Amino acid sequence: MKKTLIIFGTRPEAVKLAPLVKKIESYPDRFQSVVCVTAQHRQMLDQVLNLFKIKPHYDLDIMKPDQTLFDVTCNALIGLKTVLEKERPDIILVQGDTTTTFVAGLAAFYLKIPVGHVEAGLRSFDKFRPYPEEINRKITSHIADLHFAPTQKSRENLLREGIDERKIWVTGNTVIDALLMVAEQVSGNTHKWDSFFSEMWGGAFHDKRIILITGHRRESFGEGFQRICHAIKRIALDHKDLMLIYPVHLNPNVQEPVKNILGGIGNIHLIEPLDYEPFVYLMTKSHIILTDSGGIQEEAPSLAKPVLVMRDVTERPEAVEAGTSKLVGTDVAKIISETERLLTDNEYYQKIIHTRNPYGDGKASERIVETLQNVL
């Protein structure tokens, strides 16, 4: 019996680790599963915990208004010290590139506890884009003992940094596991979500092509976000037949420019952040997705949706190389022109949506658990 302690703090981490939590819990004779959340995000994290029916053993509840990276780092580190000293797990498991991930790895290192890093090896090779995620994941890689890389390219990145190849396993990305689980739930509840959104928008929901938008990257705050909003505004005004749906991140640096520039435009719907299940439903209904999110770049190909990535660089080049997504940065003209092409060039659109997802087949969690059984 080996004790695993899974630590996460944000909604994206929760989505990507939920299938792994469930898979580990399905082997009670082999693993004692402990879950700790820092609650670096609060409301958005709780949505995912409820959806996947995960009840953490520890909740540090560190989120506070206008928190800084200093706040998150210090509070999580102190809180995790207590948890790790009490539990003394055989291994901690962390995911991706958040401040919680970096801090959990650091805390485990201080106490000489092994670290398994899920979604290891992603790199943009620009330490400020995405910020602070690029440095978070690089530091975590040099602390971690086991590296679960989503793709061969991620594995190669780790090898170039001197990581022992015997400590790297290519597993696919667990976000595909989560997406397929929830997409199955959505397909069994289409009437529920059809009614929910039709009621929200007065029955117009089914009559429009949908562009789904998300944006919250810290490095775009300020002029970058203003450019993104002006591009979206132009698209909406030039295509009154479109329905643009934007679940707006709660960060004031996002809320202010989005509401100032996009508020009051009839075919733009600014809504509160959605639970993961209705968000997956909107992804299935969308024609195009505009985003700066990393996870959506991985998810959308499995739903046959083209993605325009509103970032200058991405740590997920596999999707760009495969053709399932395209980098458009925060350039107004580029965002508009690439959206126009997807709206008008059907041959181009069809080629994108029929491209295989480079991020996996939905069995990443199974591969990780098999590796843990063999290694531990």
What does the domain layout of the chain look like in residue ranges? 2-173+361-375, 191-353
313: buried, middle or exposed (CB in 10 Å: 19+, 13-18, 0-12)?
Answer: middle
What's the confidence (pLDDT) of residue 203?
Answer: 66
- Judged against a pLDDT cut of 80, whether residue 218 lies above it is answered with no
Phi, psi of 148 (to 5 degrees): -105, 95
Q: What percent of the chain has pLDDT over 90?
A: 82
What's the confidence (pLDDT) of residue 194?
Answer: 86
Q: Please report which helix (H) or strand (E) contains residue 89, including its range.
A: none
What's the confidence (pLDDT) of residue 204?
Answer: 61
Q: What number is the average pLDDT over the span 167-174?
A: 97
- Judged against a pLDDT cut of 70, whether residue 342 lies above it is answered with yes
Report how far Cα 328 is from the mean position of its chain's Cα atoms.
Answer: 19
DSSP 242-260: EEEEEE--S-HHHHHHHHH
What's the confidence (pLDDT) of residue 41?
Answer: 81
pLDDT class of 106 with cuts at 50, 70, 90: very high
Q: What is the pLDDT of residues 352-367, one digit of tens each?
A: 999 999 999 999 999 9
3-state secondary structure of 128: coil
- Judged against a pLDDT cut of 80, whether residue 138 lies above it is answered with yes
pLDDT class of 189 with cuts at 50, 70, 90: confident
CATH for 191-353 (3.30.160.60, 3.30.450.20, 3.40.50.2000, 3.30.70.1890): 3.40.50.2000
Q: Which CATH architecture has domain 2-173+361-375?
A: 3-Layer(aba) Sandwich (3.40)
User: How are beta strands 91-95 and 115-118 bridged, if at all?
Assistant: parallel
Which of the residues are catalytic? 97, 119, 133, 216, 218, 249
- Judged against a pLDDT cut of 90, whether residue 44 lies above it is answered with no
- Judged against a pLDDT cut of 90, whether residue 347 lies above it is answered with yes
3-state secondary structure of 216: coil
Mean pLDDT of the chain: 94
CA distance linking residue 95 with residue 104, whole number of Å: 10
- Judged against a pLDDT cut of 80, whether residue 313 lies above it is answered with yes
pLDDT class of 198 with cuts at 50, 70, 90: confident
Q: Are 2-173+361-375 and 191-353 in the same CATH fold?
A: yes
The answer to whether the beta carbons of residues 308 and 326 sit under 8 Å apart is yes
- Judged against a pLDDT cut of 90, whether residue 335 lies above it is answered with yes
pLDDT class of 251 with cuts at 50, 70, 90: confident
CA distance linking residue 167 with residue 350, whole number of Å: 39
- In 3-state terms the chain splits into helix, strand, coil percentages (rounded to 5) of 50, 15, 35
- Which of 32-46, 82-96, 152-166, 168-182 is least confident? 32-46
- Judged against a pLDDT cut of 80, whether residue 1 lies above it is answered with yes
The CA-CA-CA angle for residues 21, 26, 30, to 5°, reads 100
pLDDT class of 42 with cuts at 50, 70, 90: confident
What's the confidence (pLDDT) of residue 339?
Answer: 98
- Judged against a pLDDT cut of 90, whether residue 294 lies above it is answered with no
